[in-house]
Structures are given as structure tokens and as C-alpha cells.
Chains A and B, each alone.
Chain A
Amino acid sequence: MTVTAMSVPTQPGVREQVSADEWQTRVDLAALYRLVAAEGMTDLAATHISARVPGPDDHFLINPYGLMYEEVTASNLVKVDLNGEKVMESPFPVNPAGFTIHSAVHMARPDVACVVHTHTAAGMAFASVETEVLPLSQTAMQFYGRTGFHAWEGISTDLDERERIVRDLGQNRALILHNHGLLVAGPTIPASWVLIFQLERVCRTQLEAMAAARAMGTDLVLVPVAVAEKTAEGFDQSLRNAAEGRTNFDWDAHLSALDAEDDSFRH
């Protein structure tokens, strides 16, 4: 199916108003919204993905409230400050309450370029049982000892909660929000894409393995701690490589896949 830019609500003229770096961030972030949608990790108009605008200002890009992720484009992303207030004119509304969790992470972690938060069934289930990320698969080991947990406090409306989110995330790359969902914080947009894709899979895999083991009355086969830690350190290095521009995790392949289906995210 070919989709023209005309069929999605864009904001003409944005490209001319922003720096080349910001425009690239907008294209990449819009692509990430589309990838998350393509993997079925959306929740209607709820949840957000945010990215830091390159440069000295604490400015961030976030989705226009009320659009499905399939309609997010480079130009309709809204630029906001740490309080979720618009810093550039936009006809699209934002949901400042939904930005609270994101702003907490961006305030505390300037090394984080992109924060992804989801409400998937597997993510919510994982976040609602007393467990932690087990060294159960190679995929899981990138989160082994690198995942924080945040106790449930009700719907996040309290700005004080930001301090506790920051404390619970620490220097980790993932945060399990109890009874609520998942969050990843990566050094680049492509890194955050890989992290959320993999964390989703980790949650589902672990829940399925736990269920099967329990039904059969067996224990899970876990990797020894030293091996898990060594493997996790390898993943630490690949995130450092991403931060330093040595890998983009085959981002072009993902963009090509999107382009083949619907390239309106670029507008």
C-alpha cells in the first residue's frame, strides 16, 4: 500500500525552521513511532516516545496527543521543554501528564537520547508479578543487572514522583514500572528501538518459560551469574559504541522496511 503524505496530518514548513540535526532527530523519532506500531506495541493514543533535541537547550520531541503512532511524522512531532510546555508553535496538542515520566529521565540522564514507554500485555504482566529479569536467554542478558524497578504509586500526576523514577532508574537502560508497563532509555534513537523490541521479547519469553516450568514442575535452566554478567558487559560495550557513533544497529534496514510500506513518517 502506498500512502501519500497528504493522508496524514503534517505541519508544513517545520523543516525550514529547525536545524538539520533536529530534522534528522525528527525523522528518526517518527520512524521509531512507526516501528513500535508495526510491532503491535501501541496503546491507542496513550504512552509516549520522547527524544532529546541535539544542542544545548533542554528541548524534547514528543508525539502530538490524539494521533495513532501510524500518523506520527517528522513535522507533527511537538517540541517541548522539561515541563512539557511547547517551545515551538504547533497546531497539535500535547499531553503534559504523560510527559512526566519522560522528563524525569531526561532531566537526570543527559546521556539518554530517547525514552520509550509501553503498555503491552506482556510488559504489564511482567510488571505485575514479583520477579526480575532472569538470565534465561542471551536476549535477556542485555538487561541482566541493568534493569531498575519502580513501585506503583497510582497514575503519575505527582511531580514528586520524578525523583523516585530517577532514583529507581539509576544508570540502568530499562525500568519496569510496577503494575503499569515498561520503559527503556538509550543513548540513541536506534539503540532505544533495539532495547524496547528486545525488552518486550524478554518479558514474554520469561513469562512463558515460567508458566511452562511451573506446569511441568521443573526449574528453569539459568546461565551462571558470571557468564550472564560477562554477556551483559558485551551489551554495555555495544551501547557505548552507539553513543560514540560506531554503530546504529542497522537502522537503515529498518528505515528501508518502513519506506517500502509507507514513507509518510519523513514528512
Chain B
Amino acid sequence: MSATTALRNAVSVKDQVSDEEWALRLDLAGMYRLAAKHGMTDLTFTHFSARIPDADNQFLLNPYGLRFEQITASSLVRVDMDGNITLDNGHSVNAAGFTIHSAVHMARHDLQCAVHTHTPAGMAVSALPQGLMALTQKSMRYFGKTCYHDYEGVALDLDERDRLIEDFGAENHTMMLRNHGVLVCASSVRLAWTRLYTLEKTMQAQLLAMASGAKLRLPPEEACAKVAAQWDKGDDSYRQDGWDSQMRLLDRADPSWKH
């Protein structure tokens, strides 16, 4: 099925899923559109996923073959941890994407959403020995919460899940996939988007700073840890990242993501 045919013929799955799942589908489709808007896509490649709240062993993944700005709530594919599609909507998923995302959802039930990108900044930082540095105030959101996974080739081998899970550990929310890109996770789709957006910007800043050749103003680690805790506290309480506002802006341009 071509992408345009998929959009034209799309049947809403709203009546076939729980209210909670539909709300999750809206958030996840909205995030795909935000990533497209902010230039964080790689054609039809890379994936964002979200665990179904009332069916813990299943998650939503993008319909393979669609550009992110073509993804809708109904076109998201629901799969279980073995890769079986549990609600047929005419779409299929990408095998490598399934490997990475199922690893997160199998191992970390505290994380609802996982997002993976191949942006130039993410690929570049993933290939530097320093990895992600605690250089900007923003980067401290990831301080002590970031791990690394060595490149093994395109993730088609389900065995890699064991190594991904081991490298991810129990406390991290962000993984630098060496020579590949980034994987950012969170307890909700909305928080995952903010973490992804912030990470992208802080990686761009890090690369510009490093390339300048000037000495880096690296803050003391103790301060980084303190600020990391402030970020976590803010994420759990007062911080407003303007999700509703962002969704209204999507609607202005193209409300089809809600279908």
C-alpha cells in the first residue's frame, strides 16, 4: 500500500480500542508530526513507540513506509513482544525498529515511551569518545541517566535485545547508540518529546562548542548532579512544556494526525 493510498483509505480504529489507547495514539501520532516539523526525521526510518496502558505487553509502533508527517493515530501499529500485530490496520512494522523498542518495553515497565532518531547531531555525538557531555545547563537533564550501546550492525538480530537491556540498566532514560543515533525514553509520550527536543539542541550546542577549539567551561560534576535532580523534580511537577499549545499549532497546519 502506498503512503498516499494509506492516508486516503485510512479507517479510524477509534471504536476498536480503549479510550486510554486512543489517547495514547493521539499523543504518539502528534509526536511523530512534531519530529517532522522540527526536522528530526530520517525519511521513513527510525521509530517512536509507546506501551499500551491497559495491555502491558503490547506497544504502538509506526506503520513502516510512511513519512512521519503522514502518520495518524489510526495508522499506528499495535504489536506484542514477539512482533505479532494485535490489531490489523493494514500496516506492518520495521524489524530493526521492533528489536530496539521491544527491548525497552520488555525490560523497563516504568517507561511508557521510547524515541529513536538519526539526526546529524545525534549520530556525531554518538561517534565521539566523549559522548554526551555535561556542558550546558540543558545537558544536565541527562547527567547520570545516559548509557552507551556499541554498534552491532542493523538491529535485525533479536539477540541484540539482551545486550540493549543490559546496557540500558534500571536507572537510565537515554541511550547513545554508538555510531547510530540516540534513544530517549520517558514515563509518558509528552515527556519523551521534551527530552528528545532538549537533547537534540544540547547536542548541537556541544558540537559547536567542541569544534570551536576553545576551552570548554565544564561545570563541576557535583553541580551537574544537583541540577540533574532539579530537572527530574521539574519534570515530575511544575514544568510546562506546552504540549497542548504544540498540538494546536499542528492543527493549524494539518489536523490529519488526529484521524
A128 touches B227 (CB 8 A): no
A68 touches B246 (CB 8 A): yes
Q: Inside 8 A of B209's CB, which chain A residues have their CB? A: 124-126, 128-129, 207
Q: Inside 8 A of A180's CB, which chain B residues have their CB? A: 136-137
A93 touches B240 (CB 8 A): yes
Which of A8, A93, A129, A152 is close to B216, meaning CB atoms less than 8 Å apart? Answer: A129
Q: Inside 8 A of B163's CB, which chain A residues have their CB? A: none
Count of interface residues, chain B, beta-carbon cutoff 8 Å: 39
Q: Closest B-chain residue to A153, C-beta based?
A: B223
Interface size class of chain A, counting residues whose CB lies under 8 Å from the partner chain: 35 or more
Is A222 interfacial (CB 8 A cutoff)?
no
Is B215 interfacial (CB 8 A cutoff)?
yes
Give how many A-B residue pairs fall within 8 Å (CB-CB): 125
B interface, by DSSP: helix, strand, loop or mixed?
helix
Is A258 interfacial (CB 8 A cutoff)?
no
B212 touches A131 (CB 8 A): yes
Q: Inside 8 A of A70's CB, which chain B residues have their CB? A: 249
Q: Inside 8 A of A68's CB, which chain B residues have their CB? A: 242, 245-246, 249
Chain B proximity of A91: nearest CB distance (Å):
14
Is B230 interfacial (CB 8 A cutoff)?
yes
Q: Closest B-chain residue to A93, C-beta based?
A: B240
A127 to B136, CA, bound (A): 8
Which of B201, B230, B244 is close to A43, meaning CB atoms less than 8 Å apart? Answer: B201
Which of A1, A95, A129 is close to B217, meaning CB atoms less than 8 Å apart? Answer: A129
Chain A proximity of B237: nearest CB distance (Å):
12
Q: Which B residues from 19 to 67 make CB contacts under 8 A with A?
A: none
Which of A9, A130, A152, A204 is close to B137, meaning CB atoms less than 8 Å apart? Answer: A152
A127 to B214, CA, bound (A): 11
Q: Closest B-chain residue to A72, C-beta based?
A: B245
Is A179 interfacial (CB 8 A cutoff)?
yes
B205 touches A71 (CB 8 A): no
A130 touches B252 (CB 8 A): no
A181 to B202, CA, bound (A): 11
B212 touches A124 (CB 8 A): no
Q: Inside 8 A of B138's CB, which chain A residues have their CB? A: 119, 124
A155 touches B240 (CB 8 A): no
